[in-house]
Structure 1
């Protein structure tokens, strides 16, 4: 590994940590000595990377430092293409088009040998017909998740009971046959799961809910016993 590759690998590694990570952990992850790691961190700081911390306490990369263009391995390309194809099959129209455009952008900057890997990959995604069409509600739900705004749902439960719910959208789950909205329900005062195919009508509002979505997501994960990501 060249020095420039090592510095890029260090940046990539630090981007994966939201909390401070020790020098020992970073050195072990990259397969370098602690002395080399400290020297590389000093170099990155000189180049403008906002790296807070010091030996013994840990380091964290602050937002705002742009990484140079990346080159992908063959397996990374296969993962990106597989993910793009899955979204193109299972997302709403705008999300599907965005997935196709993203793969095209990646393809446009790849050298010829890696471009062939992208074109020739044998990883296929089954048709989404079994799950049914995404429906008209996925795009406004995605917008509400980004903006942290409340939604008003006209919802029909499995037993046929209809209700109107004001919810704080937390996450959107894509399962094999259904799509599921995770949200805090003001009526029930707890997290609830709403199948998109049972939403009869949806009204997007501009009213922001009082807690950050990230905090709500962490709380829901803890309740469900899911690991942090």
Structure 2
């Protein structure tokens, strides 16, 4: 966890609680008590009204609250458009995430920005419902395989309809306006390859995990695509 994220979490834990000890915070955040003491001191120096002391416990002043989220019109339109595009073209898990993000934004934004978010006149109509329904579950499986570094066996059909089994290292998913592509290292070709997700019939874990090998990472794939 980044330090900035940890400081934010400390504030969240202290909100609404009568007293929280450094031992509790250290356990929740998987750091040492010494780290908590240092973080609390730094938060206090920045103006966060933390009451209490080391060895006793801490609490946040009941009058303190985080400032509301503030966005420009361009930022609000970017958020709304991105969420709507993912709602139309994303996987089931990502679409559920869209709903959660939208609800959190609506709760955190001041009324003026919330209304602007809801009324943003930029849309991604759900004309691809059948496409998303067909590949959505596969997208979620590929996302999990990328995170777990699972070597996958793809049942794949090329543009001529010829099918083949490919052992690949899944590196990333890329949306190209009307199709999703899986960027991967192909063990057969010993090179990077793009696979259209809508041409993948099945993606089965081989039971093996691929290493973090120099020259075969996601950033290497991106450089390869940019150079081609």
For the residues of structure 2 that align with 1:47 and 1:122, how far apart are their CA atoms? 43
What is the deviation of 1:208?
1.8
* SS class of match (2:217): helix
Q: In the superposition, relative to structure 1, how do residues 105 and 205 fare at CA in structure 2: closer, same or farther (>3 Å)?
A: farther
Match of 1:47 in 2: 42
Larger radius of gyration: 2
Question: Structure 1 183/131 Cα, relative in aligned 2: closer, same or farther at 3 Å?
Answer: farther
Measured after TM superposition, the shift of residue 138 of structure 1 is: 0.6
Give the alignment's TM-score, normalised by structure 1: 0.64
Query: Per-residue deviation at 1:127?
Result: 2.6
User: Match for residue 185 of structure 1?
Assistant: 186
Q: Which moved more, 1:107-116 or 1:119-128?
A: 119-128
| Map of 1:86 onto structure 2 | 85
Distance 1:150 1:118 in 2: 41
What is the number of equivalent residue pairs in this alignment? 164
Structure 2: give runs of 5+ residues left out of the alignment: 5-40, 44-65
- Which sections of structure 1, spanning at least 5 residues, go unmatched? 1-10, 12-45, 49-67
Task: Show the counterpart of 2:101.
Answer: 102
Q: Counterpart of 1:137 in 2: which secondary structure? A: helix
Mapping 1:1-16, distance limit 5 Å? none
Aligned pairs for 1:25-44 within 5 A: none
Q: CA deviation at 1:125?
A: 1.2
Look up the match of 1:216: 217
- Cα distance in 1 for partners of 2:79, 2:117 equals 9
Aligned pairs (5 A) from 1:108-187: 108-129=107-128, 132-133=131-132, 134-135=134-135, 136-187=137-188
- Cα distance in 2 between the residues matched to 1:212 and 1:83: 33
TM superposition shift of 1:75: 2.0
2-side partners of 1:159 and 1:168: how far apart?
Answer: 24
SS in 1 for 2:182: strand
The whole-number CA distance in structure 2 between the counterparts of 1:128 and 1:175 is 16
Task: Report the 3-state secondary structure (helix = DSSP H, G, I; strand = E; otherwise coil) of the residue aligned with 2:188.
Answer: coil
SS of 2:189's equivalent in the other structure is coil
Q: Distance in 1 between matches of 2:140 and 2:105?
A: 24
Equivalent residue of 1:121, what SS? coil
Query: Is 1:72 equivalent to 2:67 in the alignment?
Result: no
RMSD, aligned α-carbons: 2.7
Q: 2:174, 2:181 within 8 Å by CA — same for their partners in 1? A: yes
If the length of structure 2 is used for normalisation, what is the TM-score?
0.64
Structure 1 match to 2:19: none
Output the CA distance in 1 between the equivalents of 2:89 and 2:220.
27
